[in-house]
Amino acid sequence: MSILLDKRANGVAWVTINRPQVLNALDIPAKERLGEIWQEIADDEQVRVAVLTGAGNKAFCAGSDIKEINRTGRMVSTETLMRAIPSAGVPLFKPVIAAMHGYCIGMGMTLALHCDLRLAATNAVIGYPEVKHGMISGVSAMRLPQLIPNAFAMEMMLMARNISAEEGKRIGLINSVVEDVQGEADKWASTIAGYSPAAVQATKRLATFPRRISDTENTEIAAARAWIETKDDYKDGAAAFEQKA
């Protein structure tokens, strides 16, 4: 399956993007499956914490599957996109930890951005390349400036420049840079899972309140994405990407 869910006895659920052959890029079925998994985790009282990671050693997630976009000529619906993002489309007050390694770009970075804690391996490459391909990262365009200084956020998104894990930590985007990111994520998740679920979830609920996507913001994101789809830039960008790949 494109997304694996492993619920462990200690209350930690591991969500693994399992498309290593394409650097864990997400096609539409994978995004739909992520939405289903976040709903399942939200509903399961036995799950206290989730860890999101990617299969293989090259990528956490290299973004949306641009070859699919080139083949179909369309992007995923805004509803499916939002549900795929942790705590965005599905209310989720259980903490989610991103265990990032290798490429963590585009949609992959959007997923990580909406996790509550971000741990990165020393080889992590972080960035938003969307404007290069005539596309946008609509949700991150709203959220990123809320988490890091606006100057850094605008530079990352408008310059489409990748940064290292260490630089991500310096600007406050990454919690910790470690050699064994999955091992470290397991330690953090196990610690949190050992605390009161009610206290942990109430804390996340209050801490994330200012950053929850409102109906107005959701409408604005959908409108911006719809406007992009009226242009041929994203189709040209997807075609150029596939020719280069």
User: Which of 3, 5, 16 shows the shortest CA–CA distance to 182?
Assistant: 16
SS3 208: coil
- HEC per residue, 57-112: CCEEECCECHHHHHHHCCCCCHHHHHHHCCCCCCCCCCCEEEEECEEEECHHHHHH
pLDDT of residue 245: 62
Q: What is the pLDDT along the chain (245 residues), one digit of tens a residue?
A: 899 999 999 999 999 999 999 999 999 999 999 999 999 999 999 999 999 999 999 999 999 988 888 888 778 899 999 999 999 999 999 999 999 999 999 999 999 999 999 999 999 999 999 999 898 888 999 999 999 999 999 999 999 999 999 999 999 999 999 999 999 999 999 999 999 999 999 999 999 988 888 888 888 888 988 888 887 777 777 677 777 76
pTM above 0.95, yes or no: no
Beta bridge pairs of residue 100: 120
User: Which of 182, 82, 51 shows the shortest CA–CA distance to 124?
Assistant: 182
pLDDT of residue 232: 76
Continuous segment of H or E residues that includes residue 40: helix 28-43
Structure token pair of residue 45:
């009282």
- Cβ(41)–Cβ(95) below 8 Å: no
- Cα(67)–Cα(239) distance, integer angstroms: 8
Residue 164: CB atoms within 10 Å: 16
pLDDT of residue 105: 97
